[in-house]
Amino acid sequence: MHQGENILIDCFKQLFNYLESFAEGEKSSLPQTFRSMVPLMTQADAAASGSTRERILHTAARLFSEGGFDNISLRDITTDADVNIAAVNYHFGSKVGLLNVVFEHYATPVNAARMELLDECDRRRGDNPPAVEDILWALLSPAFHAPASGDEGRYFRRMLGRMSSSANPDVRRILFSTFDTVAARFVDMMARACPDLPKEELFWRLTCVYGSMMYAQADNGRIRTLAGDSFDSTKMDDALKYMIPFLTAGFTLPPSTKSGSRSGAK
């Protein structure tokens, strides 16, 4: 096949892909070469396009929270959101791209709130070490209260809980990169708040904090089966009320000693 024929085929492939997106109301983003072939987008078309993108985004968050990333296909998402695959490809590029935007959409306000509260911790204490309880509040409160109330917020919290144990490299990369900056600030402040803790013990205690947070977010129903239906694990204010004093008490214990180890116990 001649080079000119290849170029022509590629050109028609582009046109076909964009015309599929055209069905979802994306006419304004056509390349200049093809733009004259279709009318310009109306305001109603633009609103429809935005609505399509938001519908895909919220549907993906809900389904990922219920089934995890690997168990949910693009076909599951498009069927539930009542859109075609071309719309997902146009707005997000791929399933991994969609997950990345879901995290960006929901986690951005959480990270901003966390950084603001951590800044406040430092301002309040001046030259003194920050208080452990305040740092824990800065970590947990935005995650439990944001990004939205009701079902939308619950879906994101459950999704975070599920994704935290995922072995999928794409999921781990997105999850870690989304929260790395805030996590580094959190670790630094905890180290300053507990200067007598050896580094290894500091990170084991941090493991307990993250484990508690992720388990509460995942809300898999296990505690409810033990406590009965009267226990409501969706009440995030209650979660903060009980978790923060508990975690503060554990984190502020004196450093462990070898003589206190129970590793030899039967």
Residues 122 and 18 in one domain: no
Q: Among residues of the chain, what percentage have pLDDT more than 90? A: 52
Residue 71 lies in a domain: yes
d(CA 192, CA 119): 14
Q: Which amino acid is at 214?
A: M
The per-residue pLDDT for range 248-258, each reduced to its tens digit, is 999 999 998 75
At residue 158, the pLDDT reads: 86
Residue 263 lies in a domain: no
Residues 161 and 128 in one domain: yes
- Cβ atoms within 10 Å, residue 42: 12
The per-residue pLDDT for range 136-164, each reduced to its tens digit, is 999 999 988 865 555 777 888 888 888 88
The per-residue pLDDT for range 180-199, each reduced to its tens digit, is 999 999 999 999 999 999 99
d(CA 37, CA 40): 10
Q: What is the pTM of this model?
A: 0.73
Q: How many domains does the chain have?
A: 2
Rounded-to-10 torsion of CA 97, 102, 108, 114: -120
Could you tell me which residues come within 8 angstroms of residue 228 by beta carbon, excluding any fewer than 6 positions away? none
d(CA 128, CA 136): 17
Rounded-to-10 torsion of CA 146, 166, 101, 117: 30
Residue range of the domain that includes 237? 95-253
